Amino acid sequence: MGNKTELSLKKMDAIKDLDFKIDVDISQIILKAERITNKKKDKKEFILFILSAFSLVAFVLFFIILTGAQKMILYFEGAFFTLAPLMIIVAALSTRVRED
């Protein structure tokens, strides 16, 4: 029993003498993980946005075609292309205010 403890102590002393230079920056690892998570989240939100926008436009167009009001398509397009940039500006300003 005594030999085993002496051998263990010698091995532990040998390990103490070794100079391990491990330079790990944990904050950089955490930031990189957060970036990856945010990238996945942004991609998912973008896909959901595109799908919801497409489904909304498709539903409105389908309803217009189904009712037989082809002139409504022109009115819808005019309103959409007039109001869409305004809604984007409002959304951009609201997100800028939330970030500050």
Q: Which two tokens stand for residue 45?
A: 């939100």
Taking only the tens place, the pLDDT of each residue in 24-79 is 778 888 899 899 999 888 888 888 888 888 888 888 778 777 877 777 777 878 88
**What's the sign of the alpha-carbon dihedral 41, 42, 47, 50?**
positive
The pair phi, psi for residue 30, each rounded to 5°, is -65, -45
Residue 15 scores a pLDDT above 80: no
What pLDDT score was predicted for residue 36? 92
What is the model's pLDDT at position 45? Answer: 87
Quote the tokens at residue 35. 């970036």
- CA–CA gap between residue 61 and residue 55 (Å, rounded): 10
Domain positions in the chain are: 23-67, 69-100
d(CA 32, CA 26): 10
